[in-house]
């Protein structure tokens, strides 16, 4: 987990343009490392009753109880059995820690703003509304996710309904 400590040591400035890339369903995705607190292997998840959908349950992160979301389900993909490469990316946003379950972590990539295209303007519904932009690397395209939207768009409504 050297990556993790490396991430934490980076200051705000150097975090600019850096994205953690990971694979879901063989597609490359990226999240700005600004939001990421750590990356952990898959853990024992305690499911929560009465909650359907992508929130798989809660995990114990060194005494803190945080919910985990299966991004595959969030994207409407079929669920996969978790294996030893499955990772949980812990993000902290709006003072809430949430774990994102993804297929496997790739690397920390430098994607300057000049190489980021706006999201394709084809389909605004579905999962593409979570897309912040398309990062173009030499031989691959990385779909950059808007963590805020990913985590809070639907959930905000849900929370508001509960409250």
Partner 1 sequence: MSDNIFSFDDELLDDFVNDSRDLLDEVEPTLLQFKSLQNTQDSDENFQILNTVFRLFHSLKGSAGFLGFDNLVNVAHEAETLLDLYRSSKQAPPMDQVDLLCLTCDLVRQMLASIKTDGNEQSHEESANKQIVQLEKAIRITQGHEVEETIEVTEITIGSEAPSQDSQLQEDTFQFQMEITPEMIEVFVQEADDTLKIFEADILILNQFPDSEDCIQEAFREIHSMKGNAGFLGYKDVERVSHKAENLLEDIAEKNKVMNEEICEVLLEVSDILKAQVVLISNGEDSKIDNLQAILDKLDRVSGIEPQNSIQEPIKEDITSKTSIHEPVNEDNEPSFEKAIEKPSSSKQNVPAPAIESIVEKTSVTEKPVPKKPKPKPKGNTKTEVKRQDIRVDLAKLDQLIDLVGELVIAEAMVINNPDLKGLDLENFEKAARHLSKISRDLQDTTLSIRMVPVAATFKKMIRLVHDLERKSHKKIQLLLSGEETEIDKTLIEQVSDPLVHIIRNSADHGIQTPEERRSHGKSETGTISLSAKHEEGEVWIIVEDDGQGLNRNKILQKAIEKDVISADDQLSDHEVWQLVFEPGFSTADQVSDISGRGVGMDVVRRNIEKLKGKIEIQNSPGVGCKMILKIPLTLAIIEGMLVEVGSRYYTVPLLSIRESLKPTKDNIHINPDGQEILSLRDSLIPIVRLHKLHKLEAKYDKLEDGILVIVESRKDIYALFVDALHGQHQTVIKPLSDYVGDIRGVSGCTILGNGDISLILDASTLIQIIQQDFQHTRSST
3-class state of residue 131 by DSSP: strand
Looking at the Cβ atoms of 118 and 163, the one nearer to partner 1 is 163
To the nearest whole angstrom, how small is the minimum distance from the Cβ of residue 151 to partner 1? 7
Report the helix count and the strand count for the chain, using DSSP H and E.
4, 11
Binding track, positions 103-142, relative to partner 1; x by CB under 8 A: ----------------------------------------
Whether 98 contacts 69, CB under 8 Å: yes
3-class state of residue 85 by DSSP: coil
To the nearest whole angstrom, how small is the minimum distance from the Cβ of residue 17 to partner 1? 28
Q: Counting contacts by CB under 8 A, is residue 163 touching partner 1?
A: yes
How far is 31 from 127, CA to CA, in rounded Å?
A: 15
To the nearest whole angstrom, how small is the minimum distance from the Cβ of residue 43 to partner 1? 9
Binding track, positions 27-66, relative to partner 1; x by CB under 8 A: -----------------x-xxxxxx---x--xxx-xxxxx
How far is 86 from 99, CA to CA, in rounded Å?
A: 12
3-class state of residue 111 by DSSP: coil
Q: Which of 8, 25, 85, 96 binds partner 1 (CB under 8 A)?
A: 96
Looking at the Cβ atoms of 43 and 86, the one nearer to partner 1 is 43
How far is 50 from 104, CA to CA, in rounded Å?
A: 28
How far is 42 from 40, CA to CA, in rounded Å?
A: 6
Q: Which residues pair with 59 in a beta bridge?
A: 66
Q: Which of 15, 86, 97, 128 binds partner 1 (CB under 8 A)?
A: 97
Interaction site with partner 1 (CB under 8 A): 44, 46-51, 55, 58-60, 62-67, 96-98, 151, 155, 158-159, 162-163
């Amino acid at each position: 987990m050297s990556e993790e400590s490396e991430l934490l040591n980076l200051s705000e400035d150097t975090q600019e343009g850096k994205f953690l890339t990971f694979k879901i369903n063989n597609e490359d995705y990226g999240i700005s490392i600004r939001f990421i607190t750590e990356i952990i292997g898959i853990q024992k998840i305690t499911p929560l009753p009465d909650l359907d959908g992508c929130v798989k349950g809660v995990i114990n992160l060194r005494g803190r109880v945080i919910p985990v979301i299966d991004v595959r389900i969030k994207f409407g993909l079929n669920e996969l059995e978790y294996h030893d490469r499955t990772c949980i990316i812990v993000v902290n946003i709006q003072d809430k820690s949430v774990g994102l379950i993804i297929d496997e972590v790739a690397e920390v990539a430098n994607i300057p703003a000049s190489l980021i295209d706006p999201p394709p303007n084809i389909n605004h519904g579905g999962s593409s509304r979570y897309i912040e932009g398309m990062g173009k690397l030499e031989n691959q395209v990385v779909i950059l996710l808007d963590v805020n939207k990913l985590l809070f768009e639907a959930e905000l409504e849900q929370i508001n309904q509960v409250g």
